[in-house]
Structure 1
């Protein structure tokens, strides 16, 4: 039978029925896997241990993996059959339309699809008008033949594509002997099937949570399940989709990527053997933590809302469903946090959830999210700049906007908590755009929040809370380069009671530090302390002589001051190490006298310094971009003198095409080196893309320069940081 006859008789119902059967199988596999996780595997992990348990759990994991493979492979088969049915049906429709035209134009069509011309009488052969009609019929015949041929070609192509795609979906994926690799292969099968069919499924870019939510709601349940099974990475990262959907998709990504790592090795991966093994370990540990909570009720299960294992790795994990919680918190971690540290973050959000549930009203549900959705700074000079915070700001705003979008009319009480550099990230996100849509913001152990006042954070200042332990070494760099200390009354917020020790004790069980965070999450009032600190003992010191006072011209301090602060940046970097390793950092000489300078003079000098650098680079500072941040100098125990001693962090910016940033910092670097500055950090590109950065310090002036690209944008930022200075109305004591 010819292709023409087959296509003319084609009925898509058979293929569509078969596709529906595969869809039902895919859905059944997903449901069975979910039931197994929550009713068998999860509950048993809560109390069954030992060799037999390990063997049983390994078997259970294998069963769940096979169910995931069936889900993906069946969904792929359904996609192939649906696609072929649709394309064949369209080809059949085009063929029937062509045949209708042939009938209207009185053109005969043979059984093989060949189009002819109607018989011609002898008289017509000698009639000029009839000959003209004949020529016109010839043109029409070519048009119809072309339509028929096009329809047949499309049908053959659809059939060939379907045959090729279905050939990839082999039952041997479940039956052939292997330990690892089947889940990874199923993910590749899904990608290859889409390529065979030439499909480019529309999935919104992860930029607008409301658009993503609208698109998701427009899909049928079957379509939604197909997208989760066949495009889990794209679906898992979409802000604005329900948490249960993102969790399904990201767990599938986790399973597939972990299985692929187990089946492969570092060769050809672009990673060292150590990096490869660490990534596999990170995913394995994360999966174990998720599995352990599968037996809990929904409000205590873990939801995997984001996953990216590449590089340092990122993950967003929630304990409890933030879509349905009455109180939701987002915890943003700080320096040195990578995918390897996520299990520790899960412990922290679990304690925060318990604390908040104790403080919440009867029946109120609490969810707490660990948001490692940005590239936290490493233990290097990047921790002293706002660059990483600014890079992650838009993503954090988008995430909270996505939560609000999904919640709809059920508006949860939202608290955003930052820890360490995480407070800097929270500050950058909350101060930009429309903010984080938070009801409360909490800054724990903050080195600075990129802004000078709680009112800048799009939150009621009465609902901004900060706290730092008295022996937390973060205080040695607070207010230095990232903004003023938010625990001070001058910041405009409130300071909560902290009774824990060190940089990581804020979530110690039964502590006031943890209880206060829990109260804030639950919408209750925490215990607070007076944030107008008492002064340390006064000491005598000699004031600067008039000739030693800094002049009001660019880069004068290194010429007029004979005192140094040579180890400040090194101490700040060492502090970052100490926060992670538990070490201590020595502070500068406590008997060093302080230079005298009025705040207005310090600000004017810093302004001239930034203008000098901009002129050196042949660029212009953006009007009104300057932001001076004055902070009180603190003693080693956080005490503040009443003599007005202060530090200044002065920020300004210029908008210049990012492609010109490397040339700009190159010129500034050359000029600063001539002025006696030491360059402590420098780069022009990252991954061959313009991303400039310059750190410099002057060994006599004891002040620091930071010039950097603002988050890959056209914004080039300039920062000048001073040492501790004394107002001229007060004789300069030695530092305490």
Structure 2
């Protein structure tokens, strides 16, 4: 509670310094969290230390990181609340002093009384008008009432600001830092949301497209962005159009919080699947290290549990900064818990093969995009065909459900930079999803489509994909039987030629030279050199269509090379 005397005599000069000190502490704690992950946790993980002692140490190290993270959240809550009070209280104090001066000018004295104030007419009237005549008691009472109302309103405003700050500080619990359990994260996030509300950060805008999200985020102050990252980490991390580095920060915090939620308590079957997925994501982040906004490490751009097999979008390198971005869309039987490690190895190969084609390192970013429910398939073999399970892989439901999210994700990349070269590398059923994204509306805003081992794109012509056919590329290995098996469900149909697959000449796109192999051989290496399938993907990803050296251009079975410029 703030009274008249306290507000009148308060010295607010040091409040800004107090808030700045907490802000600096927050930055140092966040930096410490990042450096501890990269310099301690990740190094221990990469060293290959195994066994019971290693597991114990790993849990202890992770607990320390989470203690640092919760400390940073609490420090930010204190600093932000103090900063807001430092901005509001001097304004309220000035309003109080102004009313006091106006009252005295009107012939009314404002005197302190036990911390409060009293009004009387003992003071001489000011020379300026506005006062009451000596013989006009009704007018004088009216003035007294008006000035009392104004002073009481101002003091009440000061009390509200003080109560908000006190509420934030009272809600902080030092024991949360030591506990690192679910309620600790919930407490810290609730504190952050209370502070955010003081700054007008209260909930998220709805129904924004990626361009709208980018504009909204860009219009916030730095303090507001920090508050959103602390208060709504999972929501911000999942929002297409937000800068990749900010999404990564938000998602790492949300991942920590969700892992804390699922740890140390009985789990349902769904939660058990979820924690296995999240642990796989955490492992992938650990192996590749934390990533600053300008380096070539891993960025976590999205994760979720909408599907039992998990959701994750991860990038090697920052797609907002790279000149070329490749998006790998996987196919059938891809899940997070069992498949992320292998998919990230493929992504590493795409990244390395592409980056080696330019003299400047960091010109490319590679994204693994699993934001759809990849279908499941199992085959009983010739002797037990009745044990085959292929219902989801022969249908279009999964691809059509996921295609809008791929389109929106690409739109988010475009919202950050319109002149970057973006390619999609879609494998197996992932190519059917890419086809659905390209066929609908005005298509998907990519420069090149690369489909490998494709059973079809739900159309019979590259012209239907809203892209210049010279920028559509297909690869099929000589021993890959999946395109033929899947053609009945996913290939297009031409009256003259029947079923038409993307690598067929009649489809109208380019067919790249592929290495000998099967459905999983499109990212094979020959020693330290990429084989033809991977090399040709990389040449498309880097846009080497009219390189002065013909040997560096994509190698075609048939088709026409485009120019380097967009059609």
* Alignment check: 8 A CA contact 2:280 2:340 kept: no
> What is the CA–CA distance in structure 1 between the aligned matches of 2:440 and 2:12, rounded to whole Å?
53
Structure 1 residue 60 displacement after superposition = 3.3
* Alignment check: 8 A CA contact 2:428 2:482 kept: no
Q: Whose radius of gyration is greater, 1 or 2?
A: 1
**For residue 67 of structure 1, what is the aligned residue in structure 2?**
68
TM-score normalised according to structure 1 size: 0.62
> What is the CA–CA distance in structure 2 between the aligned matches of 1:296 and 1:145, rounded to whole Å?
58
**For residue 534 of structure 2, what is the aligned residue in structure 1?**
514
Structure 1 residue 492 displacement after superposition = 1.5
Structure 1 gap ranges (5+): 122-128, 267-272, 532-736
Please say if 1:528 is aligned against 2:556: yes
* Alignment check: 8 A CA contact 1:335 1:376 kept: yes
Q: Which has the higher helix share?
A: 2
The residue matched to 1:318 in structure 2 has which SS? Answer: strand
Please say if 1:402 is aligned against 2:412: yes
Please say if 1:438 is aligned against 2:446: yes
Q: Deviations over 1:522-542 (max 9, x none)?
A: 3344333358xxxxxxxxxxx
Alignment of 1:96-111 (within 5 A): 96-111=97-112
Decide which of 447, 468, 472 is 2:481's aligned counterpart: 472
**For residue 419 of structure 1, what is the aligned residue in structure 2?**
427
Task: Give the 3 Å change call, closer, same or farther, for CA 94–349 of structure 1 in structure 2.
Answer: same
Alignment of 1:340-379 (within 5 A): 340=337, 341-361=339-359, 363=361, 365-377=363-375
**For residue 249 of structure 1, what is the aligned residue in structure 2?**
250
Please say if 1:31 is aligned against 2:40: no
Decide which of 264, 284, 292 is 1:289's aligned counterpart: 284
Task: Give the 3 Å change call, closer, same or farther, for CA 195–64 of structure 1 in structure 2.
Answer: closer
> What is the CA–CA distance in structure 1 between the aligned matches of 2:221 and 2:30, rounded to whole Å?
17
- Taking only aligned residues, the RMSD between alpha carbons, in angstroms, comes to 3.5
Task: Give the 3 Å change call, closer, same or farther, for CA 434–39 of structure 1 in structure 2.
Answer: farther
Please say if 1:306 is aligned against 2:287: no
> What is the CA–CA distance in structure 2 between the aligned matches of 1:35 and 1:246, rounded to whole Å?
19
Residue correspondences, number: 514
* Alignment check: 8 A CA contact 2:291 2:299 kept: no
Please say if 1:278 is aligned against 2:298: no
Task: Give the 3 Å change call, closer, same or farther, for CA 141–208 of structure 1 in structure 2.
Answer: farther
* Alignment check: 8 A CA contact 2:536 2:555 kept: yes
**For residue 317 of structure 2, what is the aligned residue in structure 1?**
320
Which sits farther off after the overlay, 363-372 or 290-299?
290-299
**For residue 490 of structure 1, what is the aligned residue in structure 2?**
506
> What is the CA–CA distance in structure 2 between the aligned matches of 1:226 and 1:314, rounded to whole Å?
26
Task: Give the 3 Å change call, closer, same or farther, for CA 200–299 of structure 1 in structure 2.
Answer: closer
Structure 1 residue 253 displacement after superposition = 1.1
Decide which of 135, 157, 164 is 2:138's aligned counterpart: 135
> What is the CA–CA distance in structure 2 between the aligned matches of 1:96 and 1:304, rounded to whole Å?
52
> What is the CA–CA distance in structure 2 between the aligned matches of 1:12 and 1:458, rounded to whole Å?
61
Task: Give the 3 Å change call, closer, same or farther, for CA 431–190 of structure 1 in structure 2.
Answer: farther
Task: Give the 3 Å change call, closer, same or farther, for CA 260–402 of structure 1 in structure 2.
Answer: same
Task: Give the 3 Å change call, closer, same or farther, for CA 179–220 of structure 1 in structure 2.
Answer: closer
> What is the CA–CA distance in structure 1 between the aligned matches of 2:5 and 2:123, rounded to whole Å?
27
Q: Deviations over 1:456-486 (max 9, x none)?
A: 3343211201234454334333253574522
The residue matched to 1:229 in structure 2 has which SS? Answer: helix
Alignment of 1:227-246 (within 5 A): 227-246=228-247
> What is the CA–CA distance in structure 2 between the aligned matches of 1:376 and 1:202, rounded to whole Å?
32
The residue matched to 2:489 in structure 1 has which SS? Answer: coil
Structure 1 residue 192 displacement after superposition = 5.7
* Alignment check: 8 A CA contact 1:37 1:295 kept: yes
Structure 1 residue 165 displacement after superposition = 1.9
TM-score normalised according to structure 2 size: 0.79
